[in-house]
Chain A
Amino acid sequence: MSNTHADTVLYVRDTMLPQSEPPASTIGPAGWAKQNLFSGWLNTLLTVVSAAFVVFLLYRLLPWFISPTWGSDSLSSCRALFEEIGRDHEGACWGVIRDRWQQLLFGFYPAELYWRPILSLILLMVALAPVLFVGKVPAKMLIFSVIYPFMLPWLLWGGTVWMPIAVIAGFGVGYLVFKLVAKVGPGGLAAIVATLATVLWWLFLTAPVAYGLASVLPLALEPVASRQFGGFMLSVTIGVVAIACSLPIGIVLALGRRSDLPLVKWLCVGFIEFIRGVPLITLLFVASVLLNIFLPPGTNFDIILRVMIMTTLFASAYMAEVIRGGLAALPKGQYEGADSLGLDYWQAQRLIIMPQALKISIPGIVSTFIGVFKDTTLVSIIGLLDPLGLANAIRADTDWNGIYWELFLFIGAVFFIFCFSMSRYSMYLERKLQTGHR
């Protein structure tokens, strides 16, 4: 600072300025429009051109959408209607949606049993509520979330009620074996023996026990075969299973890939890189064609179950990489903080590392979920009737031969509802987990 200013440097404020209103042109809708739409000549031009384009699109598309064809029962009757009312252009033929919406939603599931998939969907919401909205829904409802995975296959495929109960009993068997072995041996051995006992129970005893009980007390739903499944019911079932299973498997794979144990690490790396290196369609073909070659002759391994397993494995590999990104983003200090307090590896992962890594990965995780859900349409390639497969089936009917847009619009709209909800939920979750750091 130079000396010439020395006598002007002293400054003491004696009155404090009151807070004042911002200029009117910067607040409210007018302020918003000025700031976002007309902030300069280029933005003004872009705004005008975009508005004109939107108006033009609506002008050309709306007449097609607004079409009095809800009642028609074939494409030819739509065309006759257009001629009758003297429309010089083609319009949408919405009759196909009215005629076939049940098929698009449920495939060839018996109509009198529609209540089962609908009930499954409602119960799915109930089971998801305590998981998605922690703190807003009583935590006791989590019990239902645990039971639901066993109920779902029973509701959809039917059969005796003893089957899911026998499967759940497997956990009881495992627990009893664990308690018994833990009394005489070390905990690690007990855990291994208990796991083995549970798997053996599922493989060899579940079916006889269930059928035995069923012959004593026949409580059963009418069975529905897998080939009758189709439409959104199929997409949602495969999607929900793949989504629900891929997250935990992905977490384990991500941790395995960062493990210090070489065997674990290379197994995980091998699995992830193999799955990511192969297109989903290839895996689905393996599921539908090749798997039968490797399985012992006479094994009947449900095609939907095979597809679910393949989709889950596919999604898990991507999930693992997304979560690994979250893990890598955590500062090393978090691991050291946890270590220095004496937490062991699993406690540190569960209490410190995973909650933060998963939070960082939410956008990636939900993107993967959305991708998996949309990928379920690929099952049409191996002959399962997902909504797109059904669209082909509907076109094969002479009544609706040549109808494309209406079906695709309907399918697209339903997919949009599902995917958009997922993306909104992820934004809600990110806001909720914001704790003011970073």
Chain B
Amino acid sequence: MTDTAFDTAPAVDPTAMKVSDEVAIEISNMNKWYGTFHVLRDINLTVNRGERIVVAGPSGSGKSTMIRCINRLEEHQAGKIVVDGTELTSDLKNIDKVRSEVGMCFQHFNLFPHLTILENCTLAPIWVRKTPKKEAIETAMYFLEKVKIPDQANKYPGQLSGGQQQRVAIARSLCMKPRIMLFDEPTSALDPEMIKEVLDTMIELAQEGMTMICVTHEMGFARQVANRVIFMDQGQIVEQNEPEEFFNNPRSERTKLFLSQILGH
């Protein structure tokens, strides 16, 4: 993995992005098993509003599973997850409430191929938020302009490049006006040329104060945008620190090994 995509990126001033004291997500003693396999072990994490957190780690370390637990795409078996004051239990009402407040972007975009870009963006506001159609279209166009693809609104996802599709996916989430955004390896399925356009969109989002948790291998992004980097291995949080400290002065042996492998070429 390289951070070349960031060589030309504008410098971001992390102090410009404020973190409030209000708690957005609180995960305490969360455990999860797949069958008998213990994927997440005793996860404790508190995220304040406005924080930009990057989760890194080798594959299979449980980082995707962890953020997928936050909007209950995966179910945790023990411990507690509270998102925006709502605890995630098997209560469907709470789950739908949390999901409509938490946006998520996936590695494979998961756009709906049978709907146009605009329909992809207006679907949830119309059906979940009961927004009038006209207003939903206006909101969708606003966010499509923000991710710089308003001219593609009437095309189908299959006609767009990967980078454009991921930006549509971000716009689709934003149309629900979420208070928290989760990114699950948003650039892993993209060509190097397209990674930058997606990361630029994410940086802009961060600068506007969005609470973000981002699973990614883009260490350049982590350095510039994150206020906290979390390193996971074998289903546990091994180390967390501010980006500068994390990259320049990793404490655990496992983190040192990981960093030397992904940055060492």
Contacts and interface: CB of A to CB of B under 8 A. Distances in A.
A208 interface: no
A437 B156 contact: yes
Given A336-B106, A351-B127, A437-B157, A356 B176 contact: no
A333 B159 CA distance: 19
B265 to A, nearest CB: 22
A351 B114 CA distance: 10
Nearest to B128: A342
B110 A333 contact: yes
Interface in B135-178: 156-159, 172-173, 176
Contact of A342 (B73, B114, B176): B176
Contacts of B33: none
Nearest to A437: B158
B104 interface: yes
Contacts of A334: 110, 112
B113 A344 contact: no
A436 B100 contact: no
Interface in A347-373: 347, 351-352, 355-356, 359
Contact of A433 (B71, B114, B173): B114
Specify which of A337, A339, A352, A435 lies most central, judged by the most chain B CB atoms within 10 Å of its CB.
Answer: A337
A339 B73 contact: yes
B99 interface: yes
Given A333-B110, A435-B113, A344 B96 contact: yes
A337 B100 contact: no
Residue of A331, A355, A433, A436 most packed against chain B (CB within 10 A): A436
B194 to A, nearest CB: 18
A431 interface: no
A359 B114 contact: yes
A437 B158 CA distance: 4
A336 B103 CA distance: 12
B206 to A, nearest CB: 20
Interface residues of A, number: 23
Nearest to B106: A333
B113 A356 contact: yes
Contacts of A437: 113, 156-158
A355 B119 CA distance: 14
Nearest to B93: A344
A435 B104 contact: no
A344 B157 CA distance: 23
A343 B113 contact: no
Interface residues of B, number: 29
A203 interface: no
A356 B127 CA distance: 18
Contacts of A333: 106, 108-110
B111 interface: yes
Given A339-B73, A340-B104, A342-B100, A347 B114 contact: no
Contacts of B172: 341
Contacts of B110: 331, 333-334, 336-337, 340
Contacts of B71: 339-340
Contacts of B96: 342, 344
Interface string B21-44: 000000000000000000000000
B114 A356 contact: yes
B99 A340 contact: yes
B19 interface: no
B159 A436 contact: yes
A435 B114 CA distance: 6
Contact of A341 (B92, B108, B128, B159): B128
A183 interface: no
Interface in B55-106: 71, 73, 92, 96-97, 99-100, 102-104, 106
Contacts of A60: none
B124 interface: yes
Given A331-B110, A341-B124, 7 more contacts: A331-B108, A340-B173, A341-B176, A343-B128, A344-B92, A352-B123, A437-B113
14 contacts: A334-B112, A337-B106, A337-B112, A339-B71, A341-B100, A342-B124, A343-B127, A347-B127, A347-B128, A351-B123, A433-B114, A435-B113, A435-B156, A438-B158
Interface of B: 71, 73, 92, 96-97, 99-100, 102-104, 106, 108-114, 123-124, 127-128, 156-159, 172-173, 176
- The 9 A-B residue pairs whose C-beta atoms are closest, nearest first, are A437-B158, A342-B100, A337-B110, A341-B124, A437-B113, A333-B110, A436-B158, A342-B99, A340-B104
